[in-house]
Structure formats: structure tokens, C-alpha cells
Amino acid sequence: MRIDGAQRDDPGGGPPKWVWGAVAGAVALALAGGAAWWFIAGQKPVAVQTATVRANGQGPAADAVLQATGYVTARRMATVSAQMTGTLTEVLIDEGFKVRKGQVLARLDDTGLKAGLAAAEAQIRTAEANLGQLRAQLAQAQADERRQAELNASGMTTRQSREQSATAVKTVAAQMEAAQRQVELAQAQARQARVNFDYATVRAPFDGVVTARAAQVGEIISPLSAGGGFTRTGVGTIVDMDSLEVNVDVNEAYIAQVKPDMPCEAVLDAYPDWKIPAHVVAVIPSADRGKATVKVRVALEQKDDRVVPDMGVRVSFLAKAQTAAKPVPGVLVPPDAVVDRDGGPAVFVVQDNRAERRAVKLGGDVGKFRLATEGLKAGETVVVSPPAELKQGSTIVNKD
């Protein structure tokens, strides 16, 4: 049996060619629309929350019960001055100099004091010479008294002569006693003159570092403020670096959590990666009414030249003492950032405002965080609580 070409186009033999063309066009249009919808939906930004991961061991202590900020202060700090008014002839210090207790820092003009000390020492010699003369007179009077006693016993002198010799001994003895007191007075005056002379030399009261030089040669200094702006009250300021500690202000609502000897961890603003072991010395029993805070003294357990007064510092009060164990390498990730995708733990990393799914290897928990030992680097930003519609390459925006 054979069908010719005319019968193939006959309506009775099947749908015409234009019908098949229309169906094919509709299918192509539907596929194109679906692809466009998928493309547009895939490019719609997803609002998420993000967090920056940090290396394990860098940041607030995991077991910190609270944190407070404050400053480094010195328990022993002195503005050194002379104990008398005088003109500076030497200044032997400058900022940054390390000094020892008793070291000479400056000298004042001591011309008048030196003359006064010499006069006092001469007065001692005069009083001692007078005492020596009276001592010789007393010896002579005692000898005369003995001879008078012998003559009186043999009847060769009168009783009155013996009494006069005894009286002469007592008189010279009294004079010698007065001369002895004069010697002691002169010695006391010489000691006072020597003390005044020593006041012309300014010495360090303790070991420390000079943080300020306040006077120059030729200026007048005085322990008391006098003469307006023309008189200095100090030569310089010395700080005992071994007495450095931290004073922090703790909100009074949390002060009950702070106890003496409580372990702490101090981080200087200048060295954010350096954690200094510390402990609470005392809670000052006085509150600041304006700031509603209580001052807490914290002792640093490591001494270092990098710690200087008035540095800003952040203190973490710990529930227990930190161990000296080396932290496990890795980064700390918020637990809500870790999701189970494709059969394993993963996180979404923010790269140029797009989400990049990255598989990670997890370690143990570190406080409130999860430790990621592989797959992430410190400083990268991850999505917290990734929504179900977040996929590889999704455009993301941070939630307000």
C-alpha cells in the first residue's frame, strides 16, 4: 500500500505541520521563562547575619565572667624636689633615665650652707677646747683639796682652807659639766648644718624610671609653691615600674562577681595579641555616683618594659585560672554558623558579597565557640544561621 504526498497533508490524515510548530514554540517559551525565573531568583540578595572568626587563643577568655576597661597606674610615683629653696646648679637626669635609690639627681647652690656647716664645726672645736681647759682646772682643784686634807689632819692648816678647796673642786666640776653641754650643743648644731647642706643634693627616693624632667639649671626650686610661675616645685617625676598595676571601673550591677585574688587576664590596647596573667588585688569600697561604677585594683603577674603608666587596658575576670597549655591551632566559629551540607559540616564564607560554601573540619568546643581546625583562616567572615535558600554563589546582604 502506498500513500502519496497529497494525502500526507490531508487534514484527515493527522495534525498539520503548523500545529507541531506552535507546540514546539510554546515549549521553548516555557523553558526560557523557567530559566529566567531561576536566574532572577538565584540572583535575589539573601539577608544574613555575619561574624568574623578569630584564631584560637586570640580574644576574650572563654571562661570570662565579665570584662572591664581601665588604665595602667603606678602605686609608687613621686615628683622629686629639694627640701629647701635654692638655685639649681646641676640637673643629672632626663626622661627615660633609670635611677637607683640614693642616686644624685640634682644639686643646688650650697655656698651659704657650706659656710654655715664650717662655722658649726668650728664651734664644736671651741667648745671642746674650753672643756679641756676646765678638765685641767678640775684636776688641779682636786689635787689642792687632797693636800689641804693632809695638812688639816696634821693640824698645819685651818678647817676653812680645807672647805674652800672642796668648794673649788665642786665649782670647776660644775663648770666642766656646763662645758660638756656646750660641746653637745655645738655638735647638734653641726649635725643640723650638715643636714641642711645635704638638702642641697636631690637624691632618688627609690629605684625607678624618670618620666618627666621639670626644671633646668639656673631655675629656683622650692618644696612650696612660691613666686608665681618663677619657682619650680620639683626637679622631675620618678615611677617605680615594679609597682605598676591596673585600675578598672566595673559596673556596680556586676561588682558582686568580683572577689579578691580572682584570676584575670589583661590585654593592653597597644598590644592586643599579648595576654598578661593577672589577679584582683582589692575592690575599692567606694562607688562613683556619676558613672555607677566601682574601682577594682588588678595586679599584673608579668613585668615588662612595654607596660607603662596610663596605658589603656581591657581586663577579663575569669571564673578559674587560665592554664599554661598551648591552644590548639584553628579558628573559633560561632556554633550557629556551622551547617550540615552534603554529608559533612560546612560554613558559608562571605567573598565579595557572595556566599561560598566551604567544608570544615571541627575540633572540640572552646567556651561558646566551635573550633575549626581546617577550612577557615582567622579574619574571614562567615554567615551566622544560614537560611535554607542560601546556596553556593548566592548574593548576600547584612541584616540591619
Tens of pLDDT along 312-344? 999 999 876 555 456 678 888 888 889 987 778
Superfamily of domain 64-75+240-318: Efflux pump adaptor protein, beta barrel domain (2.40.30.170)
User: Where does 155-241 have alpha helices with state H?
Assistant: 159-198
Please state, in angstroms and rounded to a whole number, the distance separating the CA atoms of residues 67 and 294: 13
Closest listed residue to residue 235, CA positions, set 361, 87, 28, 72: 87
Are 151 and 164 a contacting pair, CB within 8 Å? no
Query: What does DSSP assign to residue 257?
Result: G
Please state, in angstroms and rounded to a whole number, the distance separating the CA atoms of residues 188 and 163: 38
Q: Where are the domains of the chain?
A: 46-60+327-398, 64-75+240-318, 77-109+200-239, 111-197
Residue 1 has pLDDT above 50, yes or no: no
Residue 307 is placed in which grid cell?
Answer: 607596660
Give the containing element (helix H, strand E) for 315: strand 312-318
Please state, in angstroms and rounded to a whole number, the distance separating the CA atoms of residues 360 and 341: 11
Please state, in angstroms and rounded to a whole number, the distance separating the CA atoms of residues 230 and 236: 16
* pLDDT band with cut points at 50, 70 and 90 for residue 204: very high
Residue 6 has pLDDT above 80, yes or no: no
- Backbone φ and ψ for 268, nearest 5 degrees, come out as -75, 145
Q: How many CA atoms lie within 13 A of 341 on its CB side?
A: 18
Please state, in angstroms and rounded to a whole number, the distance separating the CA atoms of residues 285 and 260: 12
As a dihedral over the C-alpha atoms of residue 108, residue 109, residue 113, residue 114, rounded to 10 degrees, the angle is: 110
Name the most confidently modeled range: 22-31, 188-197, 325-334, 362-371.
Answer: 188-197
Closest listed residue to residue 261, CA positions, set 284, 278, 242, 238: 278
Residue 19 has pLDDT above 60, yes or no: no
User: Where does the chain have alpha helices with state H?
Assistant: 5-8, 17-43, 111-154, 159-198
When comparing pLDDT for 26 and 76, which is higher? 76
Beta strand pairing status for 263-268 and 312-318? antiparallel
Mean pLDDT, residues 162-171: 88
State in words which class domain 77-109+200-239 has.
Answer: mainly beta
pLDDT of residue 267: 92
Please state, in angstroms and rounded to a whole number, the distance separating the CA atoms of residues 287 and 254: 12
How far does the chain reach from its first CA to its final CA, in angstroms? Answer: 78
**Residue for grid cell 576597661:** 69
As a dihedral over the C-alpha atoms of residue 109, residue 111, residue 113, residue 116, rounded to 10 degrees, the angle is: -170
Residue type, 211: T
41 torsion bin: left (phi>0), alpha (psi -120 to 50), beta (else): alpha
Mean pLDDT, residues 217-244: 80
CATH of 46-60+327-398, one of 2.40.420.20, 3.30.1330.60, 2.60.40.10, 1.10.3720.10: 2.40.420.20
Quick one: angle between helices 159-198 and 111-154, nearest 10?
Answer: 170
Which of 36-45, 66-75, 345-354 is least confident? 36-45
Are 348 and 335 a contacting pair, CB within 8 Å? no
Closest listed residue to residue 86, CA positions, set 178, 190, 215, 183: 215
